[in-house]
Amino acid sequence: MLGLVLVLYAIVGTAMAGALVIVVLASGYDTLNYILMAAGIGAVLGLPASLFIAKAIKATE
């Protein structure tokens, strides 16, 4: 299951980080500090989301 989590994290973590960066930029916070914080928070939040998705996939098998 670890392999599945890592593959999902590559997709989900990137998507969440990108989405949060877009939200930050659309909100008018266009300095590097805010952009890096948003990307970091998205990457961190992507890990539990990937784990949840992997568990859901394994439960349906």
Summarize pLDDT for 9-54 with one digit per residue, the tens. 999 999 999 999 999 999 999 999 999 999 999 999 999 999 999 9
Side chain identity at residue 44, one-letter code? V
CA atoms of 21 and 17, how far apart (whole Å) = 6
With cut-offs at 50, 70 and 90, classify the pLDDT of residue 6: very high
CA atoms of 16 and 45, how far apart (whole Å) = 7
pLDDT on residue 58: 94
Query: Which residue, chain included where needed, has tokens 């500090």?
Result: 33
DSSP assignment, residue 31?
S
